[in-house]
């Protein structure tokens, strides 16, 4: 499967998603920043459920306090990173298949957007996005697809692994 293009996400003029986050919390799912003390558990979760390359990005993001996790009770059900691939980048993001469709990915995305906005960014780049994630981002935020933009991953040992 071919990777998608990068997508530019506008961070100014966004609506308030606090009610959505509160509703998710009432349903038992909390979004919070990952802590170093949970790094091994999070990295293992990402490796088992998604990919080794995403786990590498998550490791870097956790160390920089730029990883968000979704926790239901004491169970890790999703994660999202910012500033892992590059300073202005969002991703990777993943939610367990059995937990999708409940607003968890949207909540992780909103927390990432707010964090980047709080850091002073006006735009954020979602790298190599396609399919459901591209639609999710576009549903919530003003976006622009950056044609022929997979170049952000050209220095990987095997660029074909970006998926």
pLDDT in tens, 24-60: 999 999 999 999 999 999 999 999 999 999 999 999 9
User: Which pLDDT score, from 0 to 100, does residue 92 have?
Assistant: 94
| Helix ranges, 50-103 (H) | 52-63
**How many Cα atoms are found within 13 Å in the side-chain-facing hemisphere of 47?**
10
pLDDT band at 147 (very low <50, low <70, confident <90, very high): confident
- CATH 3.40.1280.10: does it fit domain 6-161? no
pLDDT tens profile 112-130: 999 999 999 999 999 888 8
Give the residue with greater pLDDT, 7 vs 151: 7
Q: Name the residue ranges covered by the structural domains of the chain.
A: 6-161
Q: pTM of the entire structure?
A: 0.90
Both tokens assigned to 52: 């080794």
pLDDT band at 1 (very low <50, low <70, confident <90, very high): very low
Both tokens assigned to 33: 């920043």
User: Which pLDDT score, from 0 to 100, does residue 104 have?
Assistant: 97
Q: Helices 131-140 and 104-118, interaxial angle, to 10°? A: 60
Order of strands, edge to edge, in the sheet holding 123-126?
Answer: 29-33, 67-72, 75-82, 89-95, 123-126, 6-10, 143-146
Other Cβ atoms within 10 Å of 13 Cβ, number: 8
């Amino acid at each position: 499967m071919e990777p998608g293009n990068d997508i530019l996400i506008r961070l100014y003029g966004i609506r308030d998603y606090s009610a959505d986050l509160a509703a998710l919390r009432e349903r038992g799912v909390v979004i919070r920043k990952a802590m170093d003390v949970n790094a091994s558990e999070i990295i293992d979760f990402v490796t088992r459920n998604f990919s080794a390359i995403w786990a590498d990005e998550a490791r870097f993001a956790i160390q920089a306090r730029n990883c968000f996790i979704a926790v239901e009770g004491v169970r890790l059900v999703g994660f999202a990173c910012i500033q892992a691939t590059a300073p202005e980048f969002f991703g990777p993001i993943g939610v367990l298949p059995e937990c999708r469709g409940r607003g968890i990915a949207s909540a992780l995305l909103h927390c990432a957007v707010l964090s980047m906005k709080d850091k002073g960014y006006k735009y954020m780049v979602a790298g190599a996005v396609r399919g459901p994630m591209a639609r999710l981002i576009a549903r919530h935020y003003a976006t622009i697809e950056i044609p022929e933009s997979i170049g952000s991953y050209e220095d990987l040992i095997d660029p074909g692994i970006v998926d």
